[in-house]
Structure 1
Amino acid sequence: MRALVNYFLRGLVVVAPLAFTGYVCWRLFVLIDGWLGLPIPGLGFVATLAFLILIGFLASSFLARGLFAVVESLLTRLPFVRLLYASTKDLLNAFVGEQRRFDRPVVVTVYPESEGAAIGFVTQSSLEHLGLHGQVAVYFPFSYSVAGHVLLFPADRVRPLPADSADVMAFLVSGGVTRVSATPAIPREAVVPPAAAPH
């Protein structure tokens, strides 16, 4: 009986992630495919991808970049729209844009008097513009969630973590279950520039 239970649990571990991933991908495909309401299955998805590629191409051209800048300027002047637009844009840029933010994993000494530490990502290596000299902003993702929080620490309590940022994110989101492979050591200046050092 115990062997059957073990086989069941092992099968569950193999099938459940595949089924969940397949279900989420399928639901996203159906959702995107239905945006345009086209009668042929899959055509809406392909059209949406083509549209996004076209917009990306236009946004890279000099003339269209000026037009997008004007539209963005208008959006950032509207109180509620500004909040939605700016936060969504910054979030996407942090993951896939040209200004990626979650690419500098660090280990932070949370309490100087203890040996406890936390893993996060430096999102702002200098907060001088806020009058916070020697402080850096570190984002800590929550496990099994898309949420997280940002805390400010003195730069001398933050040290680079020699690991791939995607692996570190998977490690944190999985609650520390996913294995992280070490990479060559990262120079401290690449994560916390000297300008962020305490005065």
Structure 2
Amino acid sequence: MNAVRKWLLTGLLVIVPGVITVWVLHWIVSTLDQTLAILPEAWHPDRLLGMHIPGFGVLLTLAILLSVGAVASNFVGRKLVSWGDAVISRIPVVRSIYSSVKQVSDTVFSDSGNAFRTAVLVQWPREGVWTVAFITGSPATEVACYLRDDYVSVFVPTTPNPTGGYFVLMRKSDCVELEMSVDVALKYIVSMGVVVPPAPVLDDQKR
């Protein structure tokens, strides 16, 4: 029975990651294939080639993103984007949603963005219990006026889904900066501590 249990667990460890990966990729491709709806029906691959081509929507999405990015990168494109932002900012309900989403996307996707700057070790949710979190920036000016010490903005992600979590302000002295990269720290969180990051290479001074 011990051998059967060991084989079963080993089979799950081999199959489950592959099945989940295929399922996620299938969901992404199926979702992006819905972008074909913006094309005239006569231009659909099903009509032109007489067969369905999975993933054609992915190519179309990439083409749209590259085209929009190329246009928005030049002077005229930036002016058009600014004009569109100005128009949307005058719509009462839409402007609040759009501005919030735009701020988050600018922070996450922009080259100059500062989301998840550093992986840190903090005591959460109480003293004596430690978890891995990320410094996302500094407190807002108005908030900083009420804080006497040097505070930083910290995002404490949940496990195994790091897209959810808690935004807290912590003393900088209470955050232990880690040498692991943000990507490695995310893998550590998603795996619930199973995937242990490699030990950092100490330089001569630290030795």
TM-score (norm 2): 0.76
Pairwise CA distance, 1:155: 2.0
- Aligned 8 A contact 2:119 2:134 in 1: yes
- 1:29 aligned partner: 29
The equivalent of 1:139 in structure 2 is 155
User: Which whole-Å deviations, capped at 9, do the CAs of 1:101-137 have from their partners, x for residues lacking one?
Assistant: 013111224589x443332111123433432442211
2:112 is equivalent to residue 96 of structure 1:
no
1:53 to 59, 66, 69: 66
Deviation (angstroms), 1:20: 0.6
On the 8 A contact 1:162/1:184 being kept in 2, the answer is: no
List alignment gaps of at least 5 residues for structure 2: 38-43, 47-51, 203-207
What are the ranges of 5 or more consecutive residues in structure 1 without an aligned counterpart?
A: 186-199
Return the alpha-carbon distance in structure 1 between the equivalents of residues 18 and 171 of structure 2.
42
In structure 2, the partner of 1:75 is: 88
**CA root-mean-square deviation:** 2.5
C-alpha contact (below 8 Å) 1:127/1:136 kept by paired residues: no
Percent identical residues: 26
Give the Å deviation of 1:17.
1.0
Instruction: Choose which of 87, 91, 98 in structure 2 pairs with 1:85.
Output: 98
**Cα shift readout 1:15-39 (whole Å, capped 9, x = no counterpart):** 1111111111111101101222333
The TM-score with structure 1 as length reference comes to 0.79
Taking a change above 3 Å as real, the CA distance of residues 92 and 18 of structure 1, as seen in their structure-2 partners, is: farther
Answering whether residue 126 of structure 2 is matched by residue 116 of structure 1, we say no
SS of 1:136's equivalent in the other structure is strand
Q: Deviations over 1:35-73 (max 9, x none)?
A: 223335233321111010111122221221121122123
Cα distance change on mapping 1:127 and 1:65 into 2, 3 Å: same
2:41 corresponding residue in structure 1: none
- The one of the two structures with greater contact order (alpha-carbon pairs below 8 A, sep at least 6) is 1
Name the residue aligned to 2:176: 159
Letter in 1 for 2:32: I
Equivalent-residue separation in structure 2 for 1:127 and 1:6 (angstroms): 53
3-state DSSP of counterpart to 2:35: coil
Change (3 A) 1:77 1:156: farther
Larger Rg: 2
Instruction: Tell me the SS of whatever aligns to 1:35.
Output: helix
Q: Secondary structure at the residue paired with 1:36?
A: helix
Q: Does the 8 A contact of 1:142 with 1:148 survive in 2?
A: yes
Aligned residues: 184
